[in-house]
Structure 1
Amino acid sequence: MARYTFFSFHYSPDIWRAQNVRNSWVALPGDEIDRGFFDASVFEAKRRVSPDILKNFLRDALDGTSVTCVLAGSETYRRRWVRYEIARSVVRGNGILTVHIQGLKNSKGLTSVKGPNPLDCLGVYSANGTIFLAEWEGTKWVKYADYASPIPKSDLWFRAPTTNTVTQLSEHCLAYDFTAQRGRENIGGWIETAAGQAGR
């Protein structure tokens, strides 16, 4: 069965590293199909039109995927549209994992500094029995504005929160280091594990 995976990353500094990860994955035996590698000019064109157009574009790009792989560089956790891709992945029930890629070289042969896990910066909470997404804004948790609708408990593959204390997504999703943990050989297994966690 084909495994459709969406790769979420900060395009400008990390496209070279992200392509390295993607190429090592699709070269593995199996029937892997990637999403999220649309040209940057397409992304920028959608964003210039309106945020709503870009949201629709990203939602459509996630359609049909079963796993979202967040490729984390130094500043990925800050990126609005990476957060949106993660949020939509939660809503659609995708398995989610983080792969830290700072140890890979960019086009100039340089590695980077490890950044925070983007899944530390998004979470879920309960308000009177209704589940919502939250995001970390520097010093506090706030309701996630780019997807403010309630999430049915049945749409979550992990245990739903029961209080208004935010549970970080990283508490439910695994994280790996591509360089330190031999990602070239192991990323296929990491993705399958994320799919299995979500029952996908």
Structure 2
Amino acid sequence: MKRKVFFSFHYNRDNWRAGQVRNMGKVSGDSTFSDNEWEAVKEKSDEKISAWIDAQLLNTSCVVVLIGVETANRKWINYEIKRAIELNKGIIGIYVNKLKNYEGVQDTEGKNPFDNFTVNGRKASEYIKCFKSSFSSSKYVYKDISDNIQELIEYGLKNKPSTW
């Protein structure tokens, strides 16, 4: 079953990588939004951006944080993670740094963004599963993510914040 998910990622650095994951055909087509939509939203006030994110989150079952080198501690990614926890959404992370960007370049691994959140006196990263492909070739990393994303989402749904 294809789930409707919210993809959280650092737009400027990882939008190409995020596009690859969004277009794998493994999640509901309703999960994706166009780059043009985000371009329009990001020019708005903080209040309008947070309202847009909240509306997107309400209609999804899981938040998939696509982790790149600059993902951790970004204002809006932090907001999306915080709201996902508050709304009891499934949450998972997928490292995308080994996927090539539009220039055909892989990136270095970023820090785990869930380390920045404390739940029940523990780092949220102790509760949230993050997938990191063991492959080094972008082609195989892509296949590895594609082969595992649906199972990861289901794991996130079974291990929601209310179960922590």
TM-score, normalized by the shorter chain, greater than 0.5: yes
Query: Given the superposition, is the C-alpha separation of residues 15 and 79 from structure 1 closer, same or farther in structure 2, using an over 3 Å criterion?
Result: same
Let me know the Cα RMSD of the aligned residues.
2.1
Residue number in structure 1 paired with 2:150: 188
Query: Given the superposition, is the C-alpha separation of residues 34 and 173 from structure 1 closer, same or farther in structure 2, using an over 3 Å criterion?
Result: farther
Question: Which runs of 5 or more structure 1 residues have no equivalent in the other structure?
Answer: 125-160
User: For each residue in 1:90-129, what CA deviation from the matched residue of structure 2 results, as whole angstroms up to 9, or x when unmatched?
Assistant: 11101111100100000100000000011111223xxxxx
Residue number in structure 2 paired with 1:70: 65
1:119 aligns with 2:114: yes
Q: Secondary structure at the residue paired with 1:78? A: coil
Check whether the contact 1:8–1:68 (CA below 8 A) recurs between aligned residues.
Answer: yes
Q: TM-score, normalised by structure 1?
A: 0.69
Separation in 2, partners of 1:23, 1:177: 19
Check whether the contact 1:96–1:194 (CA below 8 A) recurs between aligned residues.
Answer: yes
1:175 aligns with 2:130: yes
Report runs of 4+ in structure 1 exceeding 2 Å deviation. Answer: 34-49, 178-181
Q: Which has the higher contact order (CA 8 A, sep 6+)?
A: 2
**% identical aligned pairs:** 32
Work out which of the two has the higher radius of gyration on C-alpha atoms and give 1 or 2: 1
Higher strand share: 1
Separation in 2, partners of 1:65, 1:178: 25
Query: Given the superposition, is the C-alpha separation of residues 61 and 35 from structure 1 closer, same or farther in structure 2, using an over 3 Å criterion?
Result: farther
Higher helix share: 2
Question: Which runs of 5 or more structure 2 residues have no equivalent in the other structure?
Answer: 136-140
Separation in 1, partners of 2:46, 2:110: 26
Separation in 2, partners of 1:68, 1:123: 18
Aligned residues: 154
How far did residue 42 of structure 1 move? 3.8
1:89 aligns with 2:89: no
